[in-house]
Amino acid sequence: MGEQQHVKFPQEVLDEYTALGVDLPALFSAGHLGTRMGVQILEASADKVVGTMPVEGNTQPYGLLHGGASAVLAETLGSVGSMLHGGASKIAVGVDLNCTHHRGVRSGLVTGVATPVHRGRSMATYEIVISDEEGRRVCTARLTCLLRDVRPGDGAPAESAAS
For residues 20 and 16, what is the distance between their CA atoms, to the nearest angstrom?
Answer: 7
Task: Return the H-helix or E-strand segment holding 102.
Answer: none
Q: Which of 75, 127, 133, 134 is catalytic?
A: 75
For residues 114 and 124, what is the distance between their CA atoms, to the nearest angstrom?
Answer: 12
Provide the residue type at 63 as one letter. Answer: G
Q: What does DSSP say about strands 109-119 and 40-44: parallel, antiparallel, or unpaired?
A: unpaired
Q: Is residue 12 among the annotated active site residues?
A: no
110: nearest Cα among 72, 151, 145, 142 = 72
CA 84, chain centre distance (Å): 10
The answer to whether 70 and 138 have CB atoms below 8 angstroms apart is yes
Catalytic residue positions, numbered:
75
